[in-house]
Amino acid sequence: MPPPRDLSPDARLRHELTALLRGGQAHAGLRALDGVPEAHVNDRVDGLPYSLYDLVWHLRYAQADLLEYATSDDYASKDWPDDYWPDAPADSGDWDRERAAFLRDLDTLVTLAETADLTAELDHAPGYTVLRQLLVAADHNSHHLGQIVALRRQLGLWPPPGEGHPDGV
């Protein structure tokens, strides 16, 4: 659904940022995380170095890092790539916890999109803005949510139960 036509330029930008962060406009978006059987979160396919759990863990961690960068003057850089991928497969309940944490932080990013001074430079990172962090988060999430859909298809887990077309757009 298009935004209301009478939005100010600032409100329109914030509306579009929120829609971009929530995803699903031109792809499956957050639906990629729905209906994943816990028994398959650690499954891998030949030729890919990650499982569904690895991807959701990475999404959660990287998004939390982007959020911290945007909101904390005490931000400390992490080690790429070691800190950005899990060290072990999921245990019982890990998928649900990582998914829930990812969605909570996404809600916080949406709140930033709605309320923050989007173009003010970050105190600890001159030249960088909250707007940049929001766009990077949306871009990064979109990339890896697409990987989750592709991996689920290869594992025979797409579309989610009860849904129709396998492309699920």
Confidence band, pLDDT 50/70/90 cuts, at residue 3: confident
Q: What is the pLDDT of residue 132?
A: 98
At 8 the three-state DSSP class reads coil
Cα(12)–Cα(8) distance, integer angstroms? 6
What pLDDT digit, counting tens, does each position of 68-117 carry?
999 999 999 999 999 999 999 999 999 999 999 999 999 999 999 999 99
Cα(160)–Cα(83) distance, integer angstroms? 30
Q: What is the pLDDT of residue 98?
A: 99
Residue 127 CB partners (closer than 8 Å, separation 6+): 121
Which CATH number is associated with domain 9-154?
1.20.120.450
- Per-domain boundaries in the chain: 9-154
Cα(137)–Cα(115) distance, integer angstroms? 17
What contacts 24+ positions apart, CB below 8 Å, involve 100-103? 101/60, 101/64, 102/33, 102/56, 102/59, 102/60, 102/63, 103/30, 103/33
Confidence band, pLDDT 50/70/90 cuts, at residue 168: low
pTM of the model as a whole: 0.93
Closest CA to 117 of 62, 67, 71: 71
Token pair 């899990």 is found at 86
- Asked whether residue 165 carries a pLDDT value surpassing 90, the answer given is no
At 78 the three-state DSSP class reads coil
Closest CA to 102 of 42, 136, 62: 62
CA dihedral 84→136→116→65, nearest 10 degrees, is 10
Cis peptide before 159 (omega within 30 of 0): yes
What pLDDT digit, counting tens, does each position of 19-76 carry?
999 998 888 999 999 999 999 999 999 999 999 999 999 999 999 999 999 999 999 9
Q: What is the pLDDT of residue 167?
A: 56
